[in-house]
Amino acid sequence: MQPSNVVPITSARSVTPPTRKISAREAATDIKSGMSDFILMEKYTLSTKGLQSLFQKLVDSELVSKSDLSNRIPLREDSVALDIIKCPSCGMPQFGSFDECPQCGIIVSKYQQKCSIIAASKPNGAGAHAADSTLSGQVFHSKGAMFRADPQRTGFYNSRGGHKLTALKWKFKAEGWVASSPAVSEGVVYVGSYDGNMYALLTSTGKVHWRLDTKGPVHSSPALTQGRLFFGSLDGSFYAVEVKSGKARWKFKTGGPIYSSPVINNGLVFFGSLDGNVYAADVHTGKIKWHFRTRGPVHSSPAICGDRLCFGSMDGEFYAVDLQTGCPSVTFKTQGPITSAPAVNDGVVFFGSMDGALYAVDVKTGREKWHLQSNGKITSSAAIGYGVVHFGSHDGRLYAVDASTGQEKWRFQTDGLIASSPSLAYGILYFGSSDGNLHALDFTKGQPKWKFKTGGPVYSSPLICDEAVYFGSDDGCFYALH
């Protein structure tokens, strides 16, 4: 008689024996940790059919529940080649022309499905490469030194942008998609790419100052403080890097890919992982002070509201926990996964859910103030300014909503879905769309000012600094406009 924690699985791969034994308890732990289907297939040497058989046996043995598998789609043996079409981040195979990976929430458009996800060849050499130019001084928090402009993730930049599109200042060609949003300081802009690199580019010319090669695509947007750059990679590691040289000072390995963009407060850096945890690490040593486990993968980038850290999870819940201890104080349940970053203003947190609604919740009580229902999933993070909340939806619309009442003020329709988070600067709203454009709208009525066409969907969130607009595109380019 077989032990109860061992499940026999038949694999379709000819390089392995036709039958192998898998620890059911180990597999159940991997599934509950948020490990992707593709990684499970690689770890246990399974075909798609074998993986589905494993799922069914684990459900039958009550080691996992159907709800543990609810965010996964059925895998089919008659699908397209798995080495060609799969999620560019978590590796989940894709079988149709849908826009979002059900496993991890990243957008996977028809444009992306035509691309090979096999890692692009790297430029010659590896690791950190420094140019001759140098950076001056230490880097402290500024309105461009982290994702969404500030620790509250308001997306409000105190910098004049481009009311008129004058010209393309420069563009930089990476070896993979650029979905990461940039950070900028001291004449250098930092941005990640799906080619696995974090790049430091001179804002004047776009020339590479240095690059750091991680072991996976970089979707996480970086944050800077005290001369160090912090970001996560889909290799599952979180990095602390010297801004002058690009040399990694420390890294921390989590149990899953990292999409979440970090936020920094009082010597601690906070970030989430698809292993289901949010971590608080010492900025100098990387030592974990605390971690908080949700019931689903954490794609959301945390925000700070007073003494609380706010974030969402793919379990559909919004959380507010104590900054110093990680002890939960508030939770709020939605009807869909939450992958967007919350935005905080005057004690109210605004966040979207894949149930299609944008919520306004009192961060102290966890009570809903209002919500607005769109006609598509919301993965875009909100921008707040002048008493108005702006956000995009997969229905292709950019919405402007009164922050106090939730009353819609105007909407703007694009020709694609909007996953890019809008940025606001001097009365102009900037955001990307899967129609391939970066759009600039007048804040008051949503009237278009200009748009700039790239060669692919724009999921990166724009950054405005020194009268220039910086953003990436899935055409593999990073752009500077002025």
Q: Is 2 left (phi over 0), alpha (psi -120 to 50) or beta?
A: beta
Instruction: Decide: 30 and 22 in contact? Cβ < 8 Å.
Output: no
We report the CATH number of the domain holding residue 431 as 2.130.10.10
Question: Are 413 and 287 contained in the same domain?
Answer: yes
How far apart (Å, rounded) are the C-alpha atoms in residues 310 and 339? 12
Asked whether residue 359 is domain-assigned, the answer is: yes
Asked whether residue 95 is domain-assigned, the answer is: yes
- Residue the block writes with tokens 């926990």: 321
Instruction: Decide: 252 and 209 in contact? Cβ < 8 Å.
Output: no
Question: Are 378 and 251 contained in the same domain?
Answer: yes
Question: Are 147 and 235 contained in the same domain?
Answer: yes
Phi then psi for residue 409, to 5 deg, are -100, -45
Rg (CA), the chain: 22
Asked whether residue 436 is domain-assigned, the answer is: yes
Phi then psi for residue 481, to 5 deg, are -115, 150
Q: Which two tokens stand for residue 287?
A: 């030592």
Question: Are 64 and 203 contained in the same domain?
Answer: no
Question: Are 133 and 51 contained in the same domain?
Answer: no
The two counts, helices (H) then strands (E), for the chain are 4, 35
Range of the domain at 76: 6-113
Question: Are 454 and 396 contained in the same domain?
Answer: yes
Q: Which positions ≥6 away from 303 have C-beta within 8 Å?
A: 148, 151, 152, 153, 263, 309, 310, 311, 341, 342, 343, 344, 349
Q: Which two tokens stand for residue 109?
A: 């458009």
Question: Are 334 and 420 contained in the same domain?
Answer: yes
Coil vs helix vs strand at 91: coil
Question: Are 168 and 62 contained in the same domain?
Answer: no
Q: Of 89, 113, 137, which residue is a domain's last?
A: 113
**pTM for this predicted structure:** 0.73
Question: Are 292 and 162 contained in the same domain?
Answer: yes
> Helices marked H in 33-164 — which ranges?
37-44, 48-60, 110-113
Along the chain (482 residues), what's the average pLDDT of each consecutive run of 10 residues? 37 37 80 66 69 82 79 36 44 46 50 35 40 30 71 86 79 94 93 96 96 94 94 96 95 95 95 96 95 95 95 96 94 95 95 96 95 95 94 96 96 96 92 96 93 95 92 95 90
Question: Are 137 and 32 contained in the same domain?
Answer: no
Asked whether residue 121 is domain-assigned, the answer is: no
Structural domain count, the chain: 2
Question: Are 70 and 168 contained in the same domain?
Answer: no
Q: Kindly tell me the burial class for residue 255, based on how many C-beta atoms sit within 10 Å of its own C-beta (0-12, 13-18, 19 or more).
A: middle
Instruction: Decide: 390 and 462 in contact? Cβ < 8 Å.
Output: no
Asked whether residue 164 is domain-assigned, the answer is: yes
